[in-house]
Chain A
Amino acid sequence: MTNFFTGLMRLKRGPWEMLATILIGLGVFMLMQPFVLWAYTYSFITTLVGTVMFIIVSHFKD
């Protein structure tokens, strides 16, 4: 866990990609979940942020 946060602070690709992946996954889940409408409303922006983040951080160094 500490490595993960250190990696984030040092702008390492692995942890940032992981974070972006989590955001994309969360966004897709929010889009399709049957529980609350507000989660559906904010799903697109979550997925969009995750996807844009993924494109940017995949250019970071390992």
Chain B
Amino acid sequence: MSETPAARAAAVTPPSVARKIRGLSDRAIAWIFVGPTIFLLLAINIFPLMWTIRLSFTDFKANRNREVEWIGLRNYQRILTDSDIWLNMQATAHFLFWTIFFQVVIGFTLAYLINKKFKGNDLWTTIIVLPMMLSPAVVGNFWKFLYQPQIGLFNYVIGFFTGKDPSSFEMLGQVNLAPWSIVIVDTWMWTPFVMLICLAGLRSIPDYIYEAAEVDRASKLRQFFTITVPMVLPFLMLAVLFRGIENFKMFDLVVQLTGGGPGSTTELTSINLKREAFEKWRTGYASAYAIILFVTVFGLASIYVKALNKVKER
């Protein structure tokens, strides 16, 4: 019974198929396997991208059956001089900056604590990681309940510690609080992700470096700033870039929580883009908008890949 799997497969291959394959080179067989994937990639990713680029130079409206006019760079010109879209970009920047800031600070602190050996270490890691396993739609929904001014736990806790009446403020309904409400939820959800990356960085530092530092009588603070921080930095950078790209495209969580409101204070670019494309049906305009966001994310992704390669080289 020394029959190999290849021999068994050859035995069950119908003679007509076997005849056809026998005459093919290895390269041709490789193309047969790779071909469907390349076709799908072209059909699902590359073609729509090219089509969007083409539409971005027209005044096409998907809900109107009329002649499409070529308008050159006018869509780009309109978007890049529109102060309302500029405000959306600023809302996105506020969201991006503060979520990344809090996630990095809290994530790194948690990773540093978890990295210390203590009883129940694994259990705590699992508990901390739970939020990122949930669906953004679910998280958005239950935080909406937590933010309720009358019955919400969040308002109650804030009221308990500050002495304020819990029903006197509305996290999702007030212009000055709504941008922070989405920052809090995203931080709650994605800090574990940053923590895991930092933990990987911390665990990659060999013990002998700390032992050598101990021999040289370096203080704990000195060890932290000259060993821990520099060695975790590439991992941290990776986490920042990854979260940056993800949050730049943030949609579901914010739609569930505020729907872009009150007014347009939490209307991030992705929400605004969806409104332009599928509520106002300005398809050409929305295509140009999408291309601007795409180039930005693509640029950030290029830096991300470079940072990733640097981490791999270590």
A-side interface residues toward B, CB under 8 Å? Answer: 17, 20-21, 24-25, 27-28, 31-34, 37, 40-44, 47-48, 50-51, 54-55, 58
Within 8 A of A (CB), among B47-106: 76, 80-81, 83, 86, 89-90, 92-93, 96
| Any A CB within 8 A of the CB of B292 | yes
The minimal Cβ–Cβ distance linking A13 to chain B, given in whole angstroms, is: 10
Q: A51, B302: Cβ atoms under 8 Å? A: yes
Q: Which of B86, B295, B306 meets A44, CB within 8 Å? A: B295
Q: A32, B295: Cβ atoms under 8 Å? A: no
Q: How many CB-defined contacts (below 8 Å) exist between A and B?
A: 53
| Any A CB within 8 A of the CB of B296 | yes
Q: How far is the CA of A54 from the CA of B295 in the complex (A)?
A: 12
The minimal Cβ–Cβ distance linking B175 to chain A, given in whole angstroms, is: 16
> Contacts A32-B90, A32-B93, A41-B81; is A47 near B296 (CB within 8 Å)?
yes
Q: A47, B89: Cβ atoms under 8 Å? A: no
Q: B302, A24: Cβ atoms under 8 Å? A: yes
Q: Which of A24, A40, A42 meets B299, CB within 8 Å? A: A24
Q: B302, A40: Cβ atoms under 8 Å? A: no
Q: A40, B89: Cβ atoms under 8 Å? A: yes
| Any A CB within 8 A of the CB of B38 | no
Closest 6 CB pairs of A and B: A32-B93, A24-B299, A51-B299, A54-B302, A41-B80, A34-B90
Q: A21, B303: Cβ atoms under 8 Å? A: yes
> Chain A interface mostly helix, strand, loop or mixed?
helix
The minimal Cβ–Cβ distance linking A26 to chain B, given in whole angstroms, is: 10
| Any A CB within 8 A of the CB of B298 | yes
Q: Which of A34, A40, A54, A55 meets B80, CB within 8 Å? A: A40
Q: Which of A21, A43, A44, A51 meets B298, CB within 8 Å? A: A51
24 residue pairs bridging A and B, Cβ less than 8 Å apart: A17-B306, A21-B306, A24-B300, A24-B302, A24-B303, A27-B296, A27-B299, A28-B296, A31-B89, A31-B296, A32-B92, A32-B93, A33-B93, A37-B81, A40-B86, A40-B89, A41-B81, A44-B76, A44-B295, A47-B299, A51-B295, A54-B302, A55-B302, A58-B302
Enumerate chain B residues within 8 angstroms of A50, measured Cβ to Cβ: 299
Please give 8 more A-B residue pairs, beta carbons under 8 A apart, in addition to A32-B89, A50-B299, A51-B295: A21-B303, A28-B299, A31-B89, A32-B92, A37-B86, A42-B80, A47-B296, A55-B302
Q: B303, A25: Cβ atoms under 8 Å? A: yes
Q: How far is the CA of A41 from the CA of B81 in the complex (A)?
A: 6
